[in-house]
Amino acid sequence: MKKKLTVKDFLINYGVILIMLVLVAYTSVVRPNFLRPNNLTNILTQMSYRLVIACGIAGCIITAGCDLSAGRMIGLGSCIAGSLVQRVDYAGKFFPNLEPMNPLLVVIITMCITGCFGAITGFFIAYLSVPPFIATMAMMEIVYGISLIFTGGSPVGGYVSSFTAIASTKFLGLSSLIWIAIGILILTWFIFNMTRHGKYMYAIGGNPQAAEVAGVPVKKTLLLIYMKAAMMYGLAGFMLACKSGGTNINTGLGYEMEAIAACTIGGVSVTGGRGKVSSAIIGVAVFEFLKTALQFLGVTPDAQYIALGIIIFAAISLDIRKYIAKK
Amino acid sequence: MASEYRLELKKISKAFPGVQALDEVNLAVRPGTVHALMGENGAGKSTLMKCLFGIYKMDSGEIYLEGEKVNITDPDTAMEMGVAMVHQELQPVPARNVAENLFIGRYPTKKVGPMKVIDHKKMYEDTSYWLKEVGLDFDPKAQFGTLSIGQMQSVEIAKAVSHNAKVIILDEPTSSLSDNEVEQLFRIMEKLRDDGVSMIYISHKMDEIKRIADDITIMRDGQYVGTWKADEMSTDDIISMMVGRQLTQIYPPADAEIGEVALEVEHLSSIHEKSFQDISFTVRKGEIVGFGGLVGAQRTEAMEGLFGIRHLSGGTVKVNGKEVQISRPRDAMDVGIGMITEDRRGNGIFGCLSIKDNVGVTVYDKHLKTGIVLDHKAINKIVDESIDKLSIKTPSSSTQIANLSGGNQQKVIVSRWLANDPDILIMDEPTRGIDVGAKHEIYEIMRDLARQGKAIIMISSEMPELLGMSDRVYVMCAGKLTGEISRKEDMTQETVMDFATRFE
């Protein structure tokens, strides 16, 4: 028996997106600049690395976990990436005699290093049953310490132009950062839907005990998920370094919370088992568009925090309605 | 005006979207009696009780308590009026102690200056008093989670009594109790009956009904069928009233050819001393081997040990004559063993996933293209065939499993394991919590698997099922294998009970 889609159901399902559309429509009327292509590509660029982070963290949330180390991993990733592409003549160079590396090699090195840390977190979560909240918090501290020791607290700047050029290179009018994000989205969609690993991820999120009984390699899968997520953070750090042309240890600070919020706004359930790549896209889009719209409307950055908090409250209250059993 | 009845429900109706769950149902309970409410799963018994208890709001109908019309809007009102309910699935707070569970939400308080604080002394004293009242004797400070399910239930009843309940609803209280615990429960019920309390008792177990009930009301498909004195009804009468048809043959006859030994287990022992120890048995191809025993006999634990869910301290397992090492479920699956676990919701279904994902999870390894990509086409084919073969009632294979009835969920779990094509299938309480019709279908499936030469191990706590389905029966008691019954004529309730109670 098919249920009729009532207005209430519609609001519950699409409430947040509606709020966003209304705000965007309003902003574009009172501030015509808002929908200019220039501004839109700007928003998309802002979204690019956030999408990459969200793709990583979504996997953790789907298994009913979370990842608080994301922000610090991004910071470490950006510092590592930055230190490998500094100009030879730059005064505060980290590796004085190092020729700036090929960006592709830099990506690989960055992602491998953060991936190793992610694997360690995953090991503690999967094999030693440390709750994800605690394990990733511990890793957050460790990674921050490593970043501090590595950089000595000083900013990492002076990149060769071939590196920063990545962010400004455009293809079909879009920054290559956006293309990287699109690539990651497709890859993540593929992993979530087409591979055994993805199916196992949903099974573990849905019911870890049942997954164990059904022969799902729960531990291995969890470890891989946290490792994969950390590699994404490394990539996001690399992208941020490209974009900003200089980083420091506080790059990426707080991004984990934004990413978790974005995922849940988009419909990744914190109780596990539910969530798609489209959820991450919706969540990040809602977040960025709202932020920019508020900015255009002249809301101060300080007050924007309050607005975003309200959005999270509203979004999750609506989203949870989909799953709460009706009596 | 005084009424003959303690409680009367008149023409109660309740509709859910798409279903008329209750259609003008009546129920009249006399004071100081146990009133059995019977019907197949889905007949509307629990819904009726939830309407009475104020959990659901009924669409129409009237409730009379002691002859007076009452309006029960929520459980709190119901409790105030003296109606209490012991739920089918208990909702305890396991980490707190007995007293706190008993007084949850209404802790006795005392004044300390301007503040009201909890009066722990009074709480513990009162708890002891109420526990004694229902003939129980254990420490009010014991942590609730350490009690057995039977004990928790007794505490729930004590809680109901402490509310001065005049009507207590017991929704399938014995479904997870051992026979001893059932006996204990009945003693409490008899005491309450003597004290003049009325009880509404929902159960599927005929022998219990015959034993404890004074009156029986039968429901079918949300309709009221009738009310009878319990001693005027035979079991067959009750069944035929419940299903609306004569159930001549519940258990399909055994017709499989029994072949060579498929599984040989020797000296299987748990790492825990009190769990299963030194379990040895064999299962042949085409054979359905039943495992009987009381709840707590460690049958489930032994099978989970065999399947690699629990740790072993020793024992050998031979599959088709070859010794195998099983340390996790995947190992067991690789040597051709499947296991349908007892706790469907706990470690069976993936509630928020589709039927397809629920079935496919065991066979992803076998259906990979280029080692990574899933062969969705092949998996879909398996799923669709399963839905067809086991006649799973669902709109489509992408329906969430949580939306199916218990029986259909169970069939999905059976499909999951059949998809992996095991030679040996362990079925732990395969028909728990599913209705008579679906039970019969599960039995047919089991017979069919036996005909295909599969070896089946069935754990069952329902004596008729155990005796009706098994070719051979092993009985366990307190972690030990106490008996094997291989001759059909020896398979009686008495022999099983004899072995099942051989405590040392």
User: What is this model's ipTM?
Assistant: 0.82
Ranges A254-263, B36-45, B115-124, B188-197: which has the least confidence:
B36-45
* Mean pLDDT, range A154-171, rounded to an integer: 85
With beta carbons less than 8 A apart as the criterion, state whether B13 and B23 touch: yes
Q: For residue B108, which of B129, B84, B126, B95 has the smallest C-alpha distance?
A: B126
The 3-class secondary structure across A208-253, one letter per residue, is HHHHHHCCCCHHHHHHHHHHHHHHHHHHHHHHHHHHHCCECCCCCC
Q: Which amino acid is at A263?
A: C
How many Å apart are CA B336 and CA B420, to the nearest integer?
8
Whether residue B279 is predicted with pLDDT greater than 90 in this model: the reply is yes
Smallest Cα distance from A62 to chain B, Å: 11
pLDDT of residue B1: 43
Whether residue A282 is predicted with pLDDT greater than 50 in this model: the reply is yes
Measure the CA dihedral B413/B419/B425/B427, to 10°: 10
Mention every residue, 6+ apart, whose C-beta is less than 8 A from residue B490: none
Q: Could you tell me the pLDDT band of residue A79, with boundaries at 50, 70 and 90?
A: very high
Q: Could you tell me the pLDDT band of residue B175, with boundaries at 50, 70 and 90?
A: low
Whether residue A60 is predicted with pLDDT greater than 80 in this model: the reply is yes
pLDDT, tens digit, 9 for 90 and up, residues B318-338 = 999 999 999 999 999 999 999
* Mean pLDDT, range B45-68, rounded to an integer: 88
Mention every residue, 6+ apart, whose C-beta is less than 8 A from residue B152: B90, B92, B144
Extract the tokens encoding A71. Answer: 């922000």
How many Å apart are CA A3 and CA B157, to the nearest integer?
39
Q: Could you tell me the pLDDT band of residue B18, with boundaries at 50, 70 and 90?
A: low
Q: Is B257 left (phi over 0), alpha (psi -120 to 50) or beta?
A: beta
pLDDT of residue A219: 93
* Length of chain A counted residue by residue: 327
pLDDT, tens digit, 9 for 90 and up, residues B208-217 = 888 899 999 9
Whether residue A326 is predicted with pLDDT greater than 50 in this model: the reply is no
Residues of chain A in contact with residue B18, where contact means CB-CB under 8 angstroms, are: 1
Q: Could you tell me the pLDDT band of residue B17, with boundaries at 50, 70 and 90?
A: low
How many Å apart are CA B476 and CA B485, to the nearest integer?
12
Cβ-Cβ pairs closer than 8 A, A with B, add up to 79
Extract the tokens encoding B57. Answer: 């709001």
Cross-chain Cβ contact A210/B347 below 8 Å: yes
* Mean pLDDT, range B144-162, rounded to an integer: 81
Residues of chain B in contact with residue A213, where contact means CB-CB under 8 angstroms, are: 307, 309, 329, 339, 341, 347-348
Q: For residue B176, which of B49, B343, B37, B304 has the smallest C-alpha distance?
A: B343
- Our CA angle for A259, A264, A269, nearest 5°, is 130
Tell me which range, A42-56, B12-26, B29-43, is most confidently predicted by mean pLDDT.
A42-56
Cross-chain Cβ contact A207/B349 below 8 Å: yes
Whether residue A3 is predicted with pLDDT greater than 70 in this model: the reply is no
Smallest Cα distance from B347 to chain A, Å: 4
* Mean pLDDT, range A109-124, rounded to an integer: 95
* Mean pLDDT, range B421-440, rounded to an integer: 86
Whether residue A308 is predicted with pLDDT greater than 90 in this model: the reply is no
Q: Could you tell me the pLDDT band of residue B248, with boundaries at 50, 70 and 90?
A: very low
Contact residues, chain B to chain A, C-beta under 8 Å = 17-18, 55-56, 307, 309, 328-330, 332-333, 339, 341, 346-353, 357, 360-362, 364-365, 368, 372-374, 376, 416
pLDDT, averaged across chain A: 88
Whether residue A69 is predicted with pLDDT greater than 90 in this model: the reply is yes
pLDDT of residue B306: 94
pLDDT of residue A273: 86
* Mean pLDDT, range B449-475, rounded to an integer: 90
How many Å apart are CA B447 and CA B50, to the nearest integer?
38
Q: For residue B302, which of B333, B327, B269 has the smallest C-alpha distance?
A: B269
Smallest Cα distance from B368 to chain A, Å: 8
Whether residue B67 is predicted with pLDDT greater than 90 in this model: the reply is no
Looking at chain B, the whole-number percentage of residues with pLDDT higher than 70 is 95
Residue A268 has a CB neighbour count (10 Å cut-off) of: 28
Ranges A297-301, B48-52, B433-437: which has the least confidence:
B433-437
Cross-chain Cβ contact B329/A273 below 8 Å: no
Q: Could you tell me the pLDDT band of residue B244, with boundaries at 50, 70 and 90?
A: low
Whether residue B221 is predicted with pLDDT greater than 90 in this model: the reply is no
Extract the tokens encoding B473. Answer: 């029966």
Mention every residue, 6+ apart, whose C-beta is less than 8 A from residue B375: B367, B368, B369
Better-predicted residue by pLDDT, B242 or A275: A275
The 3-class secondary structure across B6-32, one letter per residue, is CEEEEEEEEEECCEEEEEEEEEEECCC
Query: Which of B364, B413, B416 would best serve as a mutation to test chain A binding (most A beta carbons within 10 A)?
Result: B364
Q: Could you tell me the pLDDT band of residue A17, with boundaries at 50, 70 and 90?
A: confident
Q: For residue B299, which of B489, B483, B90, B492 has the smallest C-alpha distance?
A: B483
pTM above 0.80, yes or no: no
Whether residue B249 is predicted with pLDDT greater than 70 in this model: the reply is no
How many Å apart are CA A232 and CA B46, to the nearest integer?
50
pLDDT of residue B283: 95
pLDDT, tens digit, 9 for 90 and up, residues B294-321 = 777 889 999 999 999 999 999 999 999 9
Residues of chain A in contact with residue B341, where contact means CB-CB under 8 angstroms, are: 213
Whether residue B90 is predicted with pLDDT greater than 80 in this model: the reply is no
Cross-chain Cβ contact A209/B353 below 8 Å: no
Whether residue A4 is predicted with pLDDT greater than 60 in this model: the reply is no
Smallest Cα distance from A209 to chain B, Å: 5
pLDDT of residue A120: 96
3-state secondary structure of A93: coil
How many Å apart are CA A120 and CA A123, to the nearest integer?
5
Give the pairing of strands B261-270 and B19-29.
Answer: unpaired
pLDDT of residue B454: 94
* Mean pLDDT, range B166-186, rounded to an integer: 81
Mention every residue, 6+ apart, whose C-beta is less than 8 A from residue A168: A175
CA-based nearest residue in chain A for residue B338: A214
How many Å apart are CA B285 and CA B266, to the nearest integer?
18
Q: Could you tell me the pLDDT band of residue B152, with boundaries at 50, 70 and 90?
A: confident
Question: Phi and psi (nearest 5°) for B284?
Answer: -100, 165
Ranges A65-69, A175-179, A306-310: which has the least confidence:
A306-310
pLDDT of residue A2: 43
Kindly calculate the radius of gyration of chain B based on its CA atoms and give it in whole angstroms. 25
How many Å apart are CA B98 and CA B84, to the nearest integer?
18
* Mean pLDDT, range B352-379, rounded to an integer: 88
* Mean pLDDT, range B90-99, rounded to an integer: 77
Residues of chain A in contact with residue B55, where contact means CB-CB under 8 angstroms, are: 327
Tokens 């730059």 belong to A90
Better-predicted residue by pLDDT, A224 or A36: A224
Whether residue B452 is predicted with pLDDT greater than 80 in this model: the reply is yes
pLDDT of residue B41: 60
